[in-house]
Amino acid sequence: MTAKHRNLPNILITGTPGVGKSTISKLLSERIKYPWREVSKLAEEYSCLDEYDPEYQCPFLNEDKLLDIMEGMMAKGGNIVDYHGCEFFPERWFDGVFVIRANNTTLYDRLSARGYTGKKLEDNIQCEIFETLLEEAQSSYKPEIVQELQNNTEEQLHSNVEGIVQWIERWKEDNI
Ligand code: DAT
């Protein structure tokens, strides 16, 4: 499956937990009517979570099983995939990869409000400071399809959604 076989683009919304992936994906999905594929929810729904990792306080993901399930969903294009990781997806799945970013203090407040404390909170803040997801995206996909979007304020939220909508329109003009 390559972009040539799809009439609508597949989009990946990635970034550290708390940067605003779900918020952006939901608004985008309402706006353009593409399904919002929340990978964490799909993993739960299709029983792709293995035993609990006590260090990271979350279950291990059975990636192969999840990818098999998602393959059929991705084939036609027109998906918004939302996940805090990006390197294990096949590169051919995505036409646009958007790495959502937030300032440390903003992220700290959002994750604290979510109930994150201790190592889990610190690890996620470090992940954002070290640009882990941005580097992961840049090393997993062609640089020209990876875009970084700052998402701290309501104003940025709406301009990010609008920017992705416009990107989709341009993709359709260029690829159909
Ligand atoms: P993620 O899906 O990346 O974990 P989220 O969408 O759940 O993040 O957002 C985390 C919290 O931050 C949530 O309470 C909504 C809020 N938020 C997201 N984007 C925002 C923005 N641009 N301005 C203000 N608050 C935002």
Residue 47 lies in a domain: no
53, β-bridge pairs? 58
Choose among 128, 169, 174, 133: nearest CA to 152.
128
Q: What is the pLDDT of residue 11?
A: 98
For residue 20, say whether it is annotated as part of any ligand binding site. yes
- Proportion of the chain in helix, strand, coil states, percent, rounded to 5: 55, 20, 30
Query: Are the C-beta atoms of residues 37 and 78 closer than 8 Å to each other?
Result: no
Residue of 30, 108, 110 to mutate, ligand 1, most atoms within 8 A of C-beta:
110
Would you say 96 is a known binding-site residue?
Answer: no
Whether ligand 1 lies within 6 angstroms of the CB of 110 is answered as yes
Asked whether the predicted pLDDT for residue 134 surpasses 80, the reply is yes
Residue 105 inside a domain? The answer is yes
Q: Tell me, using a 6 A CB cutoff, whether residue 159 lines ligand 1.
A: no
Residue 22 assigned as binding residue = yes
pLDDT at 137 over 80: yes
Coil, helix or strand at residue 23:
helix
pLDDT digits (tens, 9 = 90+) for 72-126: 999 999 999 999 999 999 999 999 999 999 999 999 999 999 999 999 999 999 9
What average pLDDT does range 141-167 have in this prediction?
98
Q: CATH number for the domain including 156? A: 3.40.50.300
8 in a structural domain: yes
Question: Average pLDDT in the 59-68 region?
Answer: 93
Confidence of residue 3 (pLDDT cuts 50, 70, 90): low
Task: Flag whether 151 is in a domain.
Answer: yes
User: Could you tell me if residue 144 is inside a domain?
Assistant: yes
CB-CB neighbours of 138 under 10 Å: 16
**Partners of 13 in the β-ladder:** 82, 98
Looking at the 3D structure of the chain, how many domains does it have?
Answer: 1
Q: How far is CA 65 from the centre of its chain?
A: 19
Residue-level pLDDT at 145: 97
Structural domain range at position 130: 3-39+77-168
- Tell me whether residue 140 is annotated as binding: no
The pick from 21, 23, 105, 161 for probing ligand 1's pocket by mutation, whose C-beta has the most ligand atoms within 8 angstroms, reads 23
* Residue at 67 is within a domain: no
pLDDT at 56: 67
DSSP strands (E only) in the chain: 11-14, 36-38, 49-53, 58-61, 80-83, 96-101, 146-150
Q: How far apart are CA 92 and CA 144, in angstroms?
A: 14
How high is the pLDDT of residue 60? 86
Q: Which pLDDT belongs to residue 53? A: 74
Residue 45 lies in a domain: no
Convert the pLDDT of each residue in 5-62 to its tens digit.
799 999 999 999 999 999 999 999 999 999 999 999 999 999 999 887 777 667 889 9
Within a domain: residue 62?
no
